[in-house]
Structure 1
Amino acid sequence: MQNSNDIIVRFGKMEDAEMTLEIQKSVIAESDYLLTSPEENKKTLLEHREWIQKRIENENETYIVAQTDEKVIGWIAFEHSSNRKRTSHTGSFGLMVHKSYRGLGVGEMLLTALLHWAEKNPSIEKVSLAVFSTNQKAISLYKKMGFIEEGRKIKEFKINDHEYWDDVLMYKLV
């Protein structure tokens, strides 16, 4: 799909499951910006493979990876909103980049590939996401890529007894 500075962005395959699950586990373990906490993350390799298979088999979903030197360093997955007719034109994505490769444009490359895929998919008209209000780097990237804030869920996440974060909802029409 895309190649830049020895980083290749391509559609994901089942063979990527182990590496993408490891990225997911490491990101969850070291990030304050994800809903799932490390102790809640119990996804097995088999469950992850089944999840990947659903993305690959559904023409309105996709799974894209970034790799360098045969090593997957990040991934993005688009999931269809539902099987209901009135929301069949929408979906949302999740994006994860290994800590060692952040700040190098990998997230932007993955998001660019996803948007290119969505623009070519006749069923997809709206790409959505939700992001913690404190994740300013991600929000900056999404705004740079043309996403617009469409709302917030105020105090959606309880961090501790006295701290709450909003859930920022963003979208881009394709």
Structure 2
Amino acid sequence: MIRLANETDAEAILEIKKGIILSEETTKFFISSPDELEDDSENEREKIRTSREKGNLYAVYEADGEVVGFMVFFRYDMSRLHHAGAMGMGIKEGYTNQGAGTRLIEYLLDWAEQQDGLEKICLGVVSGNQRALNLYTRMGFVEEGRQKNQVKYEDGTYADDVLMAYYI
């Protein structure tokens, strides 16, 4: 089930982020390093409050009675950019490859079509995250550019930041 996030979801969302960033298999999928991981549930609650007040989208995916995924979309504030916004998402390990990401994006796209003047959904994805790249491409996002070696990991290796967009 997908629903709008509420402030009580903050801890579960932080746990998902921690699970991704601290996992050896998925840590390179986020730009934040494990040392930069925010563990501030009040800050996360504020993000949820702010998104609602500004008319943005902050949704969660529930399975087995718990929050196992999240999706955020923030529309750009500046008038020349207000026709677009940026999205991000995360799925708890153990619930990946089961359609949660697809359903969250479908939810976002349905929501976006109802938003006045919204024309474009933007995202950045680390080049090594092939699972996400495949999902976004399958859902209709197109690559618009690539920032080469934009992400430098602690071990000295690099990844590109792949810039993608969906046109509503």
Normalized against structure 2, the TM-score is what? 0.93
Report SS of the residue matched to 1:100. Answer: coil
Q: 1:139 matched to which residue of 2?
A: 133
**Structure 1 stretch 15-24 or stretch 93-102: which is displaced more?**
15-24
What percentage of aligned pairs have identical amino acids?
Answer: 36
1:53 maps to which of 49, 56, 62: 49
Q: 1:4 matched to which residue of 2?
A: none
Pairing of 1:91-106 with structure 2 (within 5 A): 91-106=85-100
Report SS of the residue matched to 1:87. Answer: coil
- C-alpha displacement at 1:49, in angstroms? 0.5
Normalized against structure 1, the TM-score is what? 0.90
- C-alpha displacement at 1:172, in angstroms? 0.6
Q: 2:149 matched to which residue of 1?
A: 155
Distance 1:161 1:93 in 2: 28
Report SS of the residue matched to 2:162. Answer: strand
Pairing of 1:1-174 with structure 2 (within 5 A): 8-30=1-23, 31=26, 32-59=28-55, 61-81=56-76, 83-159=77-153, 163-174=157-168
Distance 1:52 1:110 in 2: 17
Write out per-residue CA displacement over residues 73-129 of structure 1, whole angstroms, 9 at most, x where no aligned residue: 100000122x21100111111110000101101011111101111111113110010
Cα 1:88–1:160 shift into 2, 3 Å: same
Unaligned segments of structure 2, at least 5 residues:
none
Report SS of the residue matched to 1:99. Answer: coil
Distance 2:14 2:117 in 1: 28
Letter paired with 1:47: N
Number of corresponding residues: 165
**Deviating 4+ runs (over 6 angstroms):** none
Distance 1:167 1:35 in 2: 9
- C-alpha displacement at 1:57, in angstroms? 1.4
Give the superposed CA RMSD. 1.3
Distance 1:150 1:103 in 2: 25
